[in-house]
Every structure is written in C-alpha cells, then in structure tokens.
C-alpha cells in the first residue's frame, strides 16, 4: 500500500516538474523581481508538499529476523569426540567384563579349579576303585593298591576344600590295609590332615549305595552306572567316570573319563 502511494506522489512530482520547467522558461524571458519571487515561492511549496506526503505515508521496512547459528564445527567435533570416547570406554569395559567372565581356566590354580567345579557343593563321596586307584576290581587289590599319579593332587585338594568321604569294596582286611597305605603314601593323612575314619569299606555295591544315601552328599563320584542311576533322585550332583560317554543319563549326572579331567581345568 505504501509503495502505491509513493508511486502516485512520484508521478505528481514529475508532472509538477514539467510545469515548473515551462514556467521557469517563460519567466526567464520576462525577468523582473515579481517573476523571481513567484518561482521561489512555487519551489518552496513543492518541497513542503513532498515532505508532508512522505511523513504521512512512511515506508514500513521488514523487521530483521534473528539468525539461528548452527553449532560450530569445534563444538560439534568436541561433542562427537566426547561421545566417541564414552562409547570407547564403555566398549573397553564390556570387553574387560567379557575377558573376566570368559577368562581361560588355565589362569586358575588347582584349588580354584576344584572349588569352581564343585559348584558350591560341600560334602563329597567318592569311590576309590577305578577313580583314585589304578585298580578296577577287588581281585586287583589282593596284590597291591596304587593311587593314580594324575589323580593324587586333585584328591588332596578335595580333602582340604570339602567334607570328603572315600569308599571302596574289598574282599578282606589285607585289601583295606593296602588302600590305606597307598593313600598315606601320597600324603593324604599327613599333608591334607585327612581323617582315616572317613575311608569306608564294604563288601558289595549295595553297601556303597547305602553309605552314600546315609551321608546325603552334594556330590557322588562313581564308576557304576547302576549305582549312579539309583542315587540320581537323592543326590544333587553325580559324576560318572566312564572311558566313553554313555548318554541318556539323568540330568544331574555329569560324565567324564577321569577324575582329574573334570576337576583340574588349568
């Protein structure tokens, strides 16, 4: 609207200028005091009219809009850098957590490995024939009894870290003495301070099964599939020593080929 008014004023001014030029030209040919005064008065009237018209119709200029400055590259770089550093530290922490959880068992000591494999169990019953001893039958015990060298260290650790009971089926007193002598030779009674009364003897597998049920251990270790199956409902954990995996065993029964292969995970 203001632009239209200014355009009309400009047209009026141009028309007045043309008339003024004609009038000035006429007066120049008739020079006198009255003519010069008329020209000056007319010019002053035009200027006053122009100023009045401009003041009554001011031109509205658009208001400047505030500019929203984008974050500087330095601040964005520092922000991205800090977030990257945080993510990096978090990733490193997660990697450290994984490294701790999945630490190779070779870094454990034998005592730590044994405790880890017991899964919190405190009382353990263990058959001697075929597990701790080289002999697999009562007939072999009539000649000698020898502790398997690979199982000796694990047996000593079990004797020190849990309530351990050892049991074996024998045919005579001589076999009992041979077993006690073999256990004494590896330091079970001296180094581990193991009580001899916790070495139990029986004449049948049914007697061994009865021992285990009366003691109510957290773990039982045996070579007999029948005994392991009979005790599966009464014992929390069982370890079956077998040269080859049998499969189709109760869920609380673990299978391994030797005593040390399960407990010594270093």
Per-residue pLDDT of 53-102, as tens digits, reads 666 555 455 455 544 444 444 444 544 454 554 455 544 544 443 433 44
The pTM score is 0.61
Mean of pLDDT values over 132-147? 95
Does residue 243 carry a pLDDT above 70?
yes
pLDDT at 246: 83
**CATH class given for the domain over 110-263:** alpha beta
pLDDT at 42: 63
Identify which has the larger pLDDT, 62 or 218. 218
State the angle between helix axes of 149-161 and 110-118 in degrees (0 to 180), rounded to the nearest 10. Answer: 70
Lowest mean pLDDT, pick from 98-102, 113-117, 179-183, 207-211 = 98-102
pLDDT at 183: 98
Does residue 122 carry a pLDDT above 50?
yes
Q: What is the overall mean pLDDT for the chain?
A: 79
User: Domain limits of the chain?
Assistant: 110-263
d(CA 220, CA 238): 5
Question: Percent of the chain having pLDDT more than 70?
Answer: 61
């Amino acid at each position: 609207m203001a632009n239209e008014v200014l355009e009309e004023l400009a047209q009026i001014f141009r028309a007045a200028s043309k008339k003024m030029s004609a009038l000035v030209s006429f007066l120049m040919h008739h020079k006198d005091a009255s003519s010069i005064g008329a020209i000056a008065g007319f010019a002053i009237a035009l200027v006053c009219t122009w100023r009045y018209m401009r003041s009554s119709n001011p031109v509205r200029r658009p208001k400047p809009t505030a500019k929203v400055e984008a974050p500087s590259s330095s601040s964005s770089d520092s922000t991205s850098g800090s977030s990257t550093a945080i993510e990096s530290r978090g990733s490193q922490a997660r990697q450290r957590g994984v490294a701790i959880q999945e630490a190779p068992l070779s870094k454990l000591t034998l005592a730590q490995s044994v405790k880890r494999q017991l899964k919190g169990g405190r009382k353990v019953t263990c058959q001697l024939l075929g597990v701790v001893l080289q002999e697999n039958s009562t007939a072999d015990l009539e000649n000698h009894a020898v502790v398997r060298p690979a199982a000796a260290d694990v047996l000593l650790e079990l004797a020190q870290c849990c309530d351990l009971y050892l049991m074996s089926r024998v045919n005579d007193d001589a076999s009992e003495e041979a077993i006690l002598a073999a256990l004494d030779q590896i330091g079970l009674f001296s180094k581990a301070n193991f009580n001899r009364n916790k070495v139990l003897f029986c004449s049948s597998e049914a007697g061994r099964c009865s021992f285990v049920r009366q003691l109510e251990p957290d773990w039982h270790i045996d070579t007999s599939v029948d005994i392991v199956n009979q005790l599966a409902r009464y014992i929390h954990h069982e370890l079956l020593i077998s040269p080859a995996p049998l499969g189709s065993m109760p869920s609380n029964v673990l299978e391994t080929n030797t005593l040390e292969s399960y407990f010594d995970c270093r």
